[in-house]
Amino acid sequence: MSKKYFIGGALCILLLAGLACNTLVPPRPEVSWDTRPEALIVRGTFCCGLVPITLVQNYIPDVQIWGDGRMIWTQSNSTGNQRRVLEAHLTPEQMTDVLQRAVNDGFFGWKDSYADYTVTDYPSQCLSIELTGTSKSVCEYFKGAPKAFHTLYAYLANGAGLNGTDFVPTRGYLKSELQNYGGQPAPETRFHWPANSLGFSLSEATNGKWVEGEALAFAWRVVNENPWGEVIQEGEDYYQISVQIPSVNQAEPPPTE
């Protein structure tokens, strides 16, 4: 056997051994993290595929955990409507337990991507974890990821065993889109925009508008009722809206005024 083939074969063996080791004995990084409040440590998303742009703008990751233990996660019905956004705070000990569970489950030894492209326009399900010494992201398109991936994702996306309280934003970016039904009757709507009491018309938010107080509370209730695009009536006009909260929505709003 030539030296070239011997070296090539040895490299292949080492590569396969490394892959097997990662699978059978996955890496176990030390559980330490950036404790700054703005440091995003855990994020789980399951979006978006072929969906309306309104849903993309309204989408909030299934779970997010920041360095100071702040945790935000969402709950929705089977159709993705009636969303509830919850907030809780993990103690340092709870944070350690959550991250150690991911390490113990083998997260840092899984492949970066699992995919089955027999279907199209399907959303990707991704989980990312940022530790001090390493970072890892695992995504699944349709199917193929280990069962443990889905177990870990569900555990985190359901609040990691915590009882949260409703997240109440204080400032958000509202964007409205006038609906045109081409002469057909408009759909029935449960919401009417009270322009007089809120101080502005939705026609003033077609290019985006930062809102607070009652206007934000009303818009927040609408988008949580139906993130896909609930229809709001204002006079003779109909709109769909999106609301983006800085550092909470997946799609960040533009810089504040």
Instruction: Identify whether the C-beta of residue 176 lies closer than 8 Å to the C-beta of residue 206.
Output: yes
Query: Does the pLDDT at position 6 exceed 50?
Result: no
Q: Using alpha carbons only, give the angle 135, 136, 142 rounded to the nearest 5 degrees.
A: 160
Query: Does the pLDDT at position 14 exceed 60?
Result: no
Domain positions in the chain are: 40-166, 172-244
User: What local confidence, expressed as pLDDT, does residue 1 receive?
Assistant: 52
Mean pLDDT of all residues in the chain? 92
| pTM of the predicted model as reported, rounded to 2 decimal places | 0.89
Q: In whole angstroms, what is the distance from residue 168 CA to residue 218 CA?
A: 12
- Specify the fold of 40-166: Mago nashi protein (3.30.1560)
Quick one: pLDDT band at residue 12, thresholds 50, 70, 90?
very low
Query: Does the pLDDT at position 20 exceed 60?
Result: no
Tell me the per-residue pLDDT of 184-237, one tens digit each, with 9 for 90 and over: 998 899 999 999 999 999 999 999 999 999 999 999 999 999 999 999 999 999
Q: Is the dihedral angle over the CA atoms 145, 41, 251, 59 positive or is it negative?
A: positive
Tell me the per-residue pLDDT of 74-100, one tens digit each, with 9 for 90 and over: 999 988 889 999 999 999 999 999 999
Q: In whole angstroms, what is the distance from residue 13 CA to residue 151 CA?
A: 32
Residue 229: name the closest of 51, 14, 34 by CA. 51
